[in-house]
Amino acid sequence: MDLIEEYGRIKAGHRSAVPERVARVTLGASVMRVFAKGTRDDLRKALVGIPAEQLRSIPDDEKFREWFEVQLRTVGEAIHLKNTKNARVQPGAVWGHGTKVLTIFLREMVAHTRVFKDGEVGRIERLLYVPLDRITMDRLLKLGVPLPFRRIREIDSARKFYDVQSQLATAAKRVGVPPVWFDDNWGDRQED
């Protein structure tokens, strides 16, 4: 094989390589530290199988929610393979940790790859949910947002997840920005 053939091989597999790379970024040490050994591979397979390009045809928040919950079932199943008795994850395996993994993956796919055109990114970003983690929860509490949980594993229902997402979406809409931007300001991720 020569260099030109290697570039041909890379070109042929480039589209499928993007979700693999985004999954690796999503499943970094700060996300994976609570899960049982082997969960990373299960989650990577689940994330790579998410049909993110379908986001192009999702017209509104309601259809996004339906699509999101289908993908969340896949992520939840991957988590449950090795974490059904993991006290660091349960009872929030799906609505806490699962949504964290999925929201980070989707944000990265939409905002930080060239899979979507700029116009598509602007429209899709407005649909995305904010990844909830210790940092975003602490920030919400400092801003006076009441949370019915203090840890990710305590987000054990759709209601808890969506109540917070609704508050974020309402505030973001008043300013005219996508809600997901709340988690996108890494410069703000410093101690006060």
pLDDT digits (tens, 9 = 90+) for 13-57: 777 788 999 999 999 999 999 999 999 999 999 999 999 999 999
| pLDDT, tens digit (0-9, with 9 covering 90-100), for 52-107 | 999 999 999 999 999 999 999 999 999 999 999 999 999 999 999 999 999 999 99
Q: Is the dihedral of CA 191, 112, 52, 58 positive or negative?
A: positive
- Residue 185, in any domain of the structure: no
Does a structural domain hold residue 67?
yes
Residue 62 placed within a domain: yes
Q: b vs e for 76-109, b when ≥16 Cβ sit within 10 Å of the residue's Cβ?
A: bebbbebbeebeebbebbbbbbbbbbbbbbbbbb
Q: Which domain holds residue 47?
A: 3-129
Does any domain span residue 165?
no
What's the total number of domains in the chain?
1
Domain membership flag for residue 121: yes
pLDDT for 75: 98
Rounded to whole angstroms, how far apart are CA atoms 115 and 190?
A: 30
**154 falls within a domain:** no
192 pLDDT band, cuts 50/70/90, is very low
Q: Is 152 within a domain? A: no
Look at residue 42 and tell me if it is in a domain. Answer: yes
